[in-house]
Amino acid sequence: MDTERTVPRMLMAGVERFGDRPAVIDGETELTYRELLAAALEVTRGAIALGVRPGDRVGIWAPNTHRWIVASLGLHCAGATVVPLNTRYRGREAREILGRVRAKAVFLDNGFLGYDYAAALRERDEDEPALGELAVVDMLDGGSWGDFLAGGAAVSPETARETALAVDPADLSEVIFTSGTTGRAKGVTIPHGTCLDLYAAYGRIWGLRPGDRYLVSLPFFHTGGNKAGIITSLMNGLTIVPLPVFDPVEVMRIIESARISVMNGPPTIYYSLLESPGRESFDLGSLRVAATGAAVVPVALVERARSELPFEHFITAYGMSECFGTATMCRAGDSADVIARTNGRALPGVELRVVDAEGRDLPPGEPGEVLIRGANVTPGYWEDPAATAEAIDAAGWLHSGDVGTLDADGNLKITDRIKDLFFVGGFNVSPAEVEQALARHPAVSEVAVVGVPDARLGEVARAYVVRRRDAEATGEEIISWARERLANFKVPRTVEFVEELPRNASGKVLRRDLRAAL
């Protein structure tokens, strides 16, 4: 197995094991494992011809499609580090990340959800540094995809395969950006080898089988869609069915027509299925295993999903980008109570601690900060040693910022968060980032953002705004301003105008007071 500890070698080994099994079904497009490798190596040739060299960073700014899978695998075979971009990002957000990693190229699906990604990359605000040379490949059939592949004819198939085989397990496979409490996204670095080790165990524990069909609704720019989705599927002989946009009726249609057996996603997707008025008219009997995860998973959701949907195995898990997306999972033999009320136990090779404010271990059942250690902990944030040292201590423990308890059997239960981040439909949101965007509005003097409960998405943003003197603005105007500058999941759903924000003696905004007033 050690020889398969890079994505290219894992893909090649998959061809030996699963050759003519379907690897991807995306509408009318179907690729076997053999065809997927061939398509990926075409991308490798195109990338080399484009000037991409091992270690170069290349962005992918596109929804879940077979082209995303093919592009990412081909870039890995070229030795590139893939930098996935959230499809809801606006131009400045994407440009900042691509500039910070000094990206060589970016692959996009122009026009997704009506947004001109290519034009957004060409724009630049006055206070923004120039992005620099950046090759743009539009993966749509009418875009530059064909020209990109044609350019690869100048590179031999042998060169592409040799480049793929030269990738080392210690090389970075991705830099995945995650929001931080400072408002500046941090790039989590993920090596090939240790990440593949983690998800080999993940697939075994989850009970995946060759021939399973996996509807991947979690976005590929997220570890849940990328690692728990694409990579886990290819390691275990599954068929990936990518879903670009979640719509419960369309999801149920696909489950029925494609005989989907595996699902994964935040609580909101299961709520959507459970509450869909058309559920009884679809045959969902092929569903076999499912997983969900969030900082806090509602117990009622787990209980309903287990009783009202036909899953044999519905589990909860816990993780964060900084530990490659997963640290704990429930097991197949766990009781309904353990599955509903905990996030399971540590994966093999992963250690957990729950500590008090002084870093002392707490007894079972006592809440404290959750610490994680193992090979699945990121080597660090991209070119940010200060943030790395703040998150990972000298002994290698990742300080999660989450509050939880461990029971006597080692089951983790997440109960709250220390950090100010909140989670909207499975995506984490930094209050500081939203506040910085809103503070640019001409009518805003001060602003504080908190997460408030939402029945569908778990949490959504609410902004508390102090207007500038003699300035006028409605909540709708503030929300519209935010929508033009931020990904939709970050946009406040409500705005409350206040005379002043609650602060402590040192001037820090007391967010807990704002939340307590709900």
Instruction: Please report, for the domain that includes residue 189, its CATH number.
Output: 3.40.50.12780
Average of pLDDT values for 378-386?
A: 97
Q: Which domain holds residue 31?
A: 2-245
pLDDT at residue 79 greater than cutoff 50: yes
DSSP for 167-199 reads --TTSEEEEEEE--TTSS-EEEEEEHHHHHHHH
Residues 9-60 pLDDT 10s = 999 999 999 999 999 999 999 999 999 999 999 999 999 999 999 999 999 9
Identify the pLDDT of residue 513: 86
Average of pLDDT values for 83-95?
A: 93
Phi (first) and psi of residue 427, to 5 degrees: -100, 135
Burial-class residue 250 by CB neighbours within 10 Å (0-12, 13-18, 19+). Answer: exposed
pLDDT at residue 260 greater than cutoff 80: yes
Pairing of strands 313-318, 328-329: antiparallel
Q: Which of 98-102, 117-121, 346-350, 467-471 has the lowest mean pLDDT?
A: 467-471
Number of neighbouring beta carbons within 10 Å of residue 249: 15
Structure tokens at 454: 């939402």
The one-letter amino acid at 358: E
Number of neighbouring beta carbons within 10 Å of residue 335: 10
Residues 326, 380 contacting (CB under 8 angstroms): no
In a domain, 357, yes or no: no
In a domain, 509, yes or no: yes
Nearest CA among 205, 474, 192, 189 for reference residue 329: 205
To the nearest whole number, what is the mean pLDDT of the chain? 92
Identify the pLDDT of residue 294: 62
Q: Which of 240-244, 299-303, 378-382 has the lowest mean pLDDT?
A: 299-303
pLDDT at residue 156 greater than cutoff 90: yes
Residue that finishes a domain, picked among 245, 271, 302: 245
In a domain, 127, yes or no: yes
297 pLDDT band (50/70/90 cuts)? low
In a domain, 280, yes or no: no
Residue that finishes a domain, picked among 245, 268, 300: 245
In a domain, 332, yes or no: no
Q: Which residue has the higher pLDDT, 423 or 323?
A: 323
Residues 226, 387 contacting (CB under 8 angstroms): no
Q: Which of 141-150, 251-260, 409-418 has the lowest mean pLDDT?
A: 409-418
Tell me which DSSP letter residue 379 carries: S
Order of strands across the sheet that contains 57-61? 135-138, 105-108, 57-61, 81-84, 172-178, 186-191
pLDDT at residue 298 greater than cutoff 70: no
pLDDT at residue 517 greater than cutoff 90: no
Q: Which of 17-26, 84-93, 294-303, 487-496 has the lowest mean pLDDT?
A: 294-303
Residues 514, 498 contacting (CB under 8 angstroms): no
DSSP for 197-218 reads HHHHHHHHHHT--TT-EEEE-S
Phi (first) and psi of residue 237, to 5 degrees: 75, 30
Of the chain, the percentage scoring pLDDT greater than 70 comes to 96
Residues 329, 315 contacting (CB under 8 angstroms): yes
**What is the maximum span of the chain, computed from C-alpha positions, in angstroms?**
71
The one-letter amino acid at 246: F
1 pLDDT band (50/70/90 cuts)? very low
pLDDT at residue 415 greater than cutoff 90: no
Burial-class residue 517 by CB neighbours within 10 Å (0-12, 13-18, 19+). Answer: exposed
Q: Which of 169-173, 291-295, 374-378 has the lowest mean pLDDT?
A: 291-295
Close Cβ partners of 45 (under 8 Å, ≥ 6 residues apart): 149, 152, 153, 154, 155, 156, 157, 159, 160
Distance separating alpha carbons of residues 322 and 320, to the nearest angstrom: 5
Which of 181-205 are b and which e, b meaning 16 or more Cβ less than 10 Å from the residue's Cβ? eeebbbbbbbbbbbbbbbbbbbbeb
Structure tokens at 390: 């703040």
pTM: predicted TM-score of the whole model, two decimal places: 0.85
Residues 452, 202 contacting (CB under 8 angstroms): no
Structure tokens at 475: 């909540």
Strand partners, 429: 422
Q: Which residue has the higher pLDDT, 237 or 446?
A: 237
505 pLDDT band (50/70/90 cuts)? very low
Average of pLDDT values for 274-300?
A: 84
Structure tokens at 137: 């490949």
Number of domains in the chain: 2
Distance separating alpha carbons of residues 446 and 467, to the nearest angstrom: 7
429 pLDDT band (50/70/90 cuts)? confident
Average of pLDDT values for 433-457?
A: 89
Identify the pLDDT of residue 208: 96
In a domain, 193, yes or no: yes
Identify the pLDDT of residue 414: 87
Residues 452-479 pLDDT 10s = 999 889 899 999 999 987 889 999 999 9
Identify the pLDDT of residue 339: 87
pLDDT at residue 504 greater than cutoff 70: no
Residue that finishes a domain, picked among 228, 245, 262: 245
Identify the pLDDT of residue 182: 47
pLDDT at residue 306 greater than cutoff 60: yes
pLDDT at residue 506 greater than cutoff 70: no
pLDDT at residue 302 greater than cutoff 90: no
pLDDT at residue 267 greater than cutoff 80: no
Torsion-angle region of 276 (φ positive above 0: left; ψ -120 to 50: alpha; else: beta): beta
Strand partners, 60: 84, 107
Distance separating alpha carbons of residues 398 and 406, to the nearest angstrom: 16
The one-letter amino acid at 5: R
CATH number at residue 461: 3.30.300.30
Identify the pLDDT of residue 343: 93
In a domain, 275, yes or no: no
In a domain, 510, yes or no: yes
Distance separating alpha carbons of residues 306 and 134, to the nearest angstrom: 48
Q: Which of 94-98, 498-502, 509-513 has the lowest mean pLDDT?
A: 509-513
Close Cβ partners of 66 (under 8 Å, ≥ 6 residues apart): 24, 26, 29, 31, 242
